[in-house]
Structure 1
């Protein structure tokens, strides 16, 4: 609804009304989306400063812009965080909180002072403490961030600004701020008109709010359909239909009122009315000003991206050193000369291809910001591309030079005319680097998801690399044109001419055909390169290609807008039957949870330039969660609620690099110290719902979860019956057969996904239920990346769900939950305040202040008296939850911070004295029927047996993959990824190689052919892993920590079983093209050995991808690391370089690449005979004459092919076993 709003009324005298086109009107609209799109390494002040420079008219001077920025910072309570970086980008740098990011997003729009402001959930994540509490202890100016924002918007509306916003259950004190209300339910209008006439309209239909009830809560309740009880469901549905019908029939007449001349506006496709003032033409900065501003912004963002800088440096050093070792101090023998030829080519993909992979990852993130800002018409694509090029130029130049210098001197390249040759190579490296980065930008411009963009780039890179003229000397005419657009073709020729022209090698004792390699000009002839070519003939076009790639990217960014989501439907009738009966019989137990003097501190010791740091998260917290009761943990942002819940669930927490958590105190379950081994008793609804597989329905998700979570002694029918029971309990009937959905597949709503997460955790009827921070069921309407027009439905659902939790707790379960006011994030999460009717369903309340300090811990019924004794009386008709959070929150604005800190300090001291009086934590063991402490019953088998888990996981994974391709999700057609990539790559190879020649160039062609084939296979495995493994990993990580746990061995077996058939079939097809069709030596044995070798190398790449993805949550970082490892291993394989030191050759035997290459070459050499006329032998064009010459060139003695096959098989299995072992280490926290 919000996104559909394009125009609005403006107030102006009727005689001044003129028409603006839709494009001009967009410049007057400021839209604040739900998500935050910000550069991570800029401070808050810098972000607003650059937003002001881009959004405000160029006629406004710097001093005025600065004043506007400072005023906006103050209005939104961002002064304290003004000089803190935004953070984010894979959680590498934390930065400001999620709520502060929300305010920064709003501030970026407000600095432009737009005529129309459209906001989608602007108060999400804002602290909610209010000014409605008596001024005796909270200053009258100590306004809540959410309320203060609404007041700011209200003031803007009074200054002839039109403000349109969507909210999910705002507080009652905000009701009077709204001039008009639009109440929606399931897309239908329930009311639309003046706020003052809203309640009378519903009163005329027999619906009036009770005294003291938030009018907005009332509106949401009557516009919602209740879940659970059939009678209430039907009654609420009938009421809603009646209200919708009444509005359709009489609503327009009810709100009809005469329009003044100032309100009459002409709205049409041609134009929109507005005032013909100087504001009409928004004179935003021109191209040069945009370039200057964007370049300054991007330069700061890149300069502060320390992980990126370190990554570039490590890449340059590691690849440079590895290439230097692989080609260490090349001599002047024929083998060394062949290695030098290979190095001239191999250094291009070894370094610059990896740079391209990381650049794609970076641009896929940064283009999200570009898409958002370009939608606001802040700047054109061309200035942005120029700014990116200029800002990243220092990194590209410095580290390209570093790589080149390391490789040049370690490999012992040409020393005569050293300066000329060295700087020729450096200049070439810089231009190839810039071309690779430009190609990365071009790929990311076509598709935004990293997986898809990297696949596009990989496919196109094959063309560009094959066109260089090294892998294949004589390129077919119909693809020969590709070399003129390949930076690698120009780069290879520049380096080769520089190293060989006019050079004569010693070659002591060498004679015959091998002596032809000792003359540099003849080497160039063999490569079909003219020794008389001037280098400028290649440098100038190379520079032109760099410019052309960036220009083409700018054109694509201007006219092509990728993105959007597919809407999920119902996949079919399968699974729609309802199984009612369930004979579930799980031993129930009553568990008291006691937290005794628990403290948690984050610390980081001194490390190089990092100073030692300590931060107290929890400060000696003590409380009891009695069995059969609901305990709520409340507190503002930074109170440690989420950390406490993680401890209660025995979840491991990541402290970050070089840091650790220090924990003291005890957590007892019925008097027994709680550990991770007991975690099967606990269900933890974690912060986000992204772990659900997107292409499964709600019913399928619950059924698979039931089979995995419930005891294997239960029948399958009973397990499915339990899943149906959860569907009914949590009101998921209407969406039971709808796909869950994901980022690119819009399925169920955010509120429904919340309830699905809770239903999954409740399947096994846990003894203790912990609802994590962002899973706040009091605020189940909180949505992430979902535009929810039926906001009232989810708010009302929250009350129904809490009633069910209440019933669950009364049956003997211990329910703990965190109620969050304001932002708190493990990821970026936004939440709202709880409703008062839900608050009264709680049994116990723990109130924490910032820093993890206890303000209250005990019965909810004693909260009022405890705070009243300190002089803080809850006003009549005021939400107690709001009151508690008002009192314990700190206003971060400098003027009021000291006063609020003093207030909170007194509250903490008071409760500390109360605890000292009590002397111990009440509660402890639950007593059985005989009055004895009831022991904690721990199930012996926490893990689902492999014989149950493997078939279920196989079916679930294949169904999810198949559904995604059937829904035509272009960016995630994962079902065919493994089956398609290898055959498509083979088809691309055949475009160039056709049937390999048996003429003079046949030897060089085969060497280049095998290098390209073998070099691509591990990367194909890596890209398959990138496209498929992350989603499977996230689901496994979640389920392993929950009652759906299955072993790491089970997960690896299922992953391997899903992968192997597709990969093997793909490699059979790959061998069909690259062995049979290409004209290589073949026989049934050679064919299958060829397919098996390439399969093992692809499997190796996928195993390495699994290993790195296990330890690094960011697949971009994983891809960067794995690409580097694979590239290094390729250099040691013995095919790219014939001069690898012995100890590096030994390391290379640890992968399937080296034995695989050797097997392929030996098989080809067994029947190879080339036709080499005498003149081609004399000129050096003919490298080898038969297979024995080829084997001699590599210097191999052991040609036992059976041994090589066994080694390949062992390594293939070994690397997958290693991935399993490292996964087990990660999951068990060893």
Structure 2
């Protein structure tokens, strides 16, 4: 979309300029005064136009105070200036109010682009070139915008309506105090939350809303601010196919109200793909396509890549734009293909997105933003948060009792230790403690290293029926609380080695509960108790807990606790040193770790830090592969995997399933729960256990017979 020639644009060095021909935005006046129409949230949206030209993001590598090792590297290296790492380069796009998807393989820069647009880059990552204009002005703070993170940060003891009402009290200006509840009801209706409006959010201990409902509540909290641009980081990750489609339909409906909705997404199904108006395809930080969704496949066909029939368009595009690191030859071929696509799109970019006109405004000019009634008084914030805390505490009597009891017991213990100390020399020394803190260290070490281990080993969960060829005759998991509820109905299944065993079902069907029961990970707490009926056997026997630990590995949905300051190679090598037997030499252990780097497609990021929220590292998909590699290190006979493809792009998900299939063909028993498997993954599935919403088995048997069975019902 060509800019107005009277506007302003960008220098070659990447400075940002204002386009005065576009309307300016009054960022504070987003709601009409009290007494106006009630249905204002979805009818009164400030229009926004987003223009991106040659946007680039880099990660500096200079020495920092938080990483002393970088100073040593600078001293020992010949050059003190290390080149920065490019995360994004030459990204151009134009957005009108619509639904935009950012797709690409793992580590391609999807979240980086979303963070750059939302001004959420942290650590040493920063925009080093290009321009991003919002209604002709630099800086997203010139418009109302909102960002929905991948994690749902919600209070489990509040209901959906209460969560939105407290958010409205904190976010909405005082001028519309009378309309707040009406606005909340508008959000509930728009997001389809009427049925669960009075249901508590819930958590792993107390059931409440489903994963899809929680995700919509998180979106609703951000919609309360009436944003003109809504950014979402992988909103469908962890949701089943039906919930993901419902959420995508909701986002499309929101965009039709005049909002720019930008989302990163992994593995969009064909029905979700058809909802996108525009798409940006990234490969190693560079775009290979940016434009209308309906024109994406013709563009790839023009460059010699035609989609085969019966293939999901999104999967085809992501696979075509992905680099395969599982072998040097595969990497060379795929890199040549991706470089050709990048070069072709770079030429096309000059035609589709001409440079904006120039001005003298600098890239780092701070955006102007008026101060108004949006800022709430501190007294009002304290009052609202206090009211919320009282309600949350009242609904968690067990936690409140534990907190009070802990304070009383600690007070009594400390008081008893120092009660009636003598005034002689011994009493004085008792008051002062040891003259050197180091004298207290050995005792502290024993306490911290022994007690947690004892607690873990004292947990006893009754599991009955599992085998190396897993055979589950009648498994019924019941959670007792205020009311007893059945999580899993009686299941008869036999998971065999040598094939990929898959557990399918919608959110809340009990897939993870079944895996946890098999792995003996269901633990009673003060407030919850699990009762299990039936048997789980391994080769007809019930192994001891120690035997279970030696033959079974569990890959959790949220991944392992990875140290952010370690590189991928270091993480695997340390894990190999701890997990592999002593009979293997150090060289053999390191070779085992390096072989897994290649097998899991992690060669490209082997020397990259894991990273965290405070500083950037590898992508979420790469972290998932590292977590899986750690569990594969010790070569277990049984591998239980909870949502291994959740949060991964189509290409990476396919490679993960191929790795699991290869492991199964070596004689292992692989059982995995999975959400939204792409159609071509069914060719890898051996046996499928399909669960209904209430945890009842709908089908168990060979994957190839499932569709015929369901069609005959």
Instruction: Give the structure-1-normalised TM-score.
Output: 0.41
- SS of 2:478's equivalent in the other structure is strand
Match of 1:849 in 2: 692
Separation in structure 2 between the aligned mates of residue 208 and residue 255 of structure 1, nearest angstrom: 25
After superposition, where does 1:1110-1121 map in structure 2 within 5 Å? none
- Shift of residue 848, structure 1, vs aligned partner: 0.8
> Aligned in 2, Cα 1:55/1:688: closer, same or farther, shift over 3 Å?
closer
| 8 Å CA contact retained: 2:240, 2:506 | yes
Q: Do structure 1's residue 669 and structure 2's residue 524 form an aligned pair? A: no
How far the C-alpha of 1:341 sits from its partner, in A, is: 13
Q: Show the counterpart of 1:597.
A: 474
1:164 aligns with 2:262: yes
Which residue number in structure 1 is paired with residue 522 of structure 2? 653
Q: Contact conserved, 2:300 with 2:306, CA < 8 A, in 1?
A: yes
| 1:297 corresponds to 2:388 | yes
Instruction: Specify which structure has the bigger relative contact order, considering alpha-carbon pairs within 8 angstroms and separated by 6 or more residues.
Output: 2
Q: CA deviation at 1:83?
A: 2.7
| 1:922-1001 equivalences in 2 (<5 Å) | none
Matched, 1:816 2:671: yes
- Which residue matches 1:35? 151
Distance of 2:600 and 2:613 partners within structure 1: 24
Where does residue 165 of structure 2 map in the other structure? 49
Alpha-carbon deviation of 1:94? Answer: 6.3
Structure 1 CA distance, aligned partners of 2:567 and 2:135?
A: 52
Greater shift, 852-861 or 747-756, is seen at 747-756
- Structure 1 residue 660 displacement after superposition: 2.6
Aligned 1:548-947 pairs, distance under 5 A: 591-604=468-481, 611=482, 613-649=483-519, 651-679=520-548, 680-742=550-612, 744=614, 746-771=616-641, 773-774=642-643, 776-777=644-645, 779=646, 781=648, 794-819=649-674, 821=675, 833-870=676-713
The equivalent of 1:232 in structure 2 is: 330
CA contact (8 A) 1:48 1:108 kept: yes
> Which string of whole-angstrom CA distances, capped at 9 and with x for unpartnered residues, describes residues 474-501 of structure 1?
xxxxxxxxxxxxxxxxxxxxxxxxxxxx
Aligned counterparts of 2:194 and 2:425: Cα–Cα separation in 1: 64
For the residue of structure 2 that corresponds to 1:48, the secondary structure is: helix
- 1:73-88 aligned within 5 A: 73-87=188-202
Give the whole-Å Cα distance in 2 for the aligned partners of 1:780 and 1:246: 29
**In 1, are the aligned partners of 2:560 and 2:627 still within 8 Å (CA)?**
no
Q: Which moved more, 1:177-186 or 1:856-865?
A: 177-186
How far apart are 1:118 and its partner, in Å?
A: 1.9
Offset of 1:70 from its aligned partner?
A: 2.2
The aligned residue for residue 284 of structure 1 is: 374
Cα distance in 1, alignment partners of residues 367 and 411 from structure 2? 61
- After superposition, the CA RMSD in angstroms is 3.8
Match of 1:4 in 2: 116
Q: Distance in 1 between matches of 2:702 and 2:401?
A: 52
The aligned residue for residue 890 of structure 1 is: none
Match of 2:290 in 1: 192
DSSP-derived class of the 1:843 partner? strand
How many pairs align? 548
Contact kept in structure 1, 2:239 and 2:507, CA below 8 Å: no
Instruction: Indicate how the Cα distance of structure 1 residues 283 and 658 shifts in structure 2: closer, same or farther if over 3 A, else same.
Output: closer
**1:204: how far off?**
1.1
CA displacement, residues 1174-1221 of structure 1 (integer Å, 9 cap, x when unaligned): xxxxxxxxxxxxxxxxxxxxxxxxxxxxxxxxxxxxxxxxxxxxxxxx
- Inter-CA distance 202–644: structure 2 relative to 1 (3 Å threshold): same
Report the secondary structure of 1:747's partner residue. coil
Q: Distance in 2 between matches of 1:735 and 1:101?
A: 33
Q: 1:706 and 1:69, CA in 2 relative to 1: closer, same or farther beyond 3 A? A: same
Shift of 1:708: 4.1
Give the whole-Å Cα distance in 1 for the aligned partners of 2:322 and 2:207: 38
CA distance in 2 between partners of 1:122 and 1:18 (Å): 26
Task: Determine if contact 2:576/2:590 at 8 Å carries over to the other structure.
Answer: yes
Shift of 1:327: 8.6
Unpaired stretches in structure 1, ≥5 consecutive residues: 8-16, 130-144, 260-265, 275-279, 347-589, 605-610, 782-793, 822-832, 871-1230
How far apart, in 2, do the equivalents of 1:231 and 1:53 lie? 58
Determine if contact 1:115/1:161 at 8 Å carries over to the other structure. yes
- Partner in structure 2 of residue 1205 of structure 1: none
Deviations 1:440-468 (A, max 9, x none): xxxxxxxxxxxxxxxxxxxxxxxxxxxxx
Structure 2 partner of 1:1090: none
CA distance, structure 2, for counterparts of residue 310 and residue 673 of structure 1? 39
Q: CA deviation at 1:208?
A: 1.9
What is the rounded CA distance, in whole Å, between the counterparts of 1:173 and 1:31 in structure 2? 24
Higher strand share: 2
**Is contact 2:205–2:528 with CA below 8 Å preserved after alignment?**
no
1:59 corresponds to 2:186? no
Match of 2:187 among 49, 72, 76: 72
The match for 1:153 among 226, 243, 251 is: 251
Report the CA distance shift for 1:662/1:194 in structure 2 as closer, same or farther (over 3 A): same
Residues 727 and 658 of structure 1, relative CA distance in 2, 3 Å threshold: same
The structure-2 alpha-carbon separation of the partners of 1:652 and 1:61, relative to structure 1 and needing over 3 Å to count, comes to closer
- CA deviations 1:25-57 (Å, max 9, x no partner) are 25x112222233334543221110122233334
CA apart distance, 1:161: 1.9
**Is 1:110–2:226 an aligned residue pair?**
no
For 2:531, what is the secondary structure of its paired residue? strand
Offset at residue 669 of structure 1 (A)? 2.6
C-alpha distance in 1, partners of 2:582/2:489? 42
Q: Following the alignment from structure 1 to structure 2, what is the Cα–Cα distance between the partners of residues 818 and 217? A: 21
Give the 3 Å change call, closer, same or farther, for CA 58–744 of structure 1 in structure 2.
closer
How far apart are residue 657 of structure 1 and its match? 0.7
Pairing of 1:347-366 with structure 2 (within 5 A): none
CA offset digits 1:621-664 (Å, max 9, x no partner): 11112221111011112222112212323x23222215432222
Q: Once the two structures are superposed, what CA deviation does each residue of 1:71-129 show, in whole Å capped at 9, x if it has no partner? A: 322333433433344456xx776654554433221110112322222222222334421
Give the deviation of 1:5 after TM superposition. Answer: 1.0
Taking the TM superposition and a 5 Å limit, the aligned residue runs for 1:237-256 are: 237-254=335-352
Name the SS of the counterpart of 1:643 in structure 2. helix
| Shift in CA distance, 125/65, structure 1 to aligned 2, threshold 3 Å | farther
Q: Distance in 1 between matches of 2:515 and 2:415?
A: 51
Name the CA distance, whole Å, in 2 between partners of 1:657 and 1:770: 27
Distance 2:140 2:580 in 1: 58
Largest Rg, 1 or 2: 1
- C-alpha change, 1:841 and 1:283, in structure 2 (3 Å) is same
**Gapped regions of structure 2 (runs ≥ 5):** 1-112, 120-133, 433-466
Which of 393, 404, 412 is residue 313 of structure 1 equivalent to?
Answer: 404
SS at match of 2:618: coil
Q: After superposition, where does 1:1000-1019 map in structure 2 within 5 Å? A: none
Distance in 2 (CA, whole Å) between partners of 1:283 and 1:46 is 24
For 1:766, what is the secondary structure of its paired residue? Answer: coil
Q: Which residue of 2 aligns with 1:181?
A: 279
TM-score normalised over the length of structure 2: 0.68
Contact 2:240–2:505, Cα closer than 8 Å, also in 1: no
**Counterparts of 2:152 and 2:237 in 1: how far apart (Å)?**
11
Measure how far apart 1:292 and its partner are.
4.5
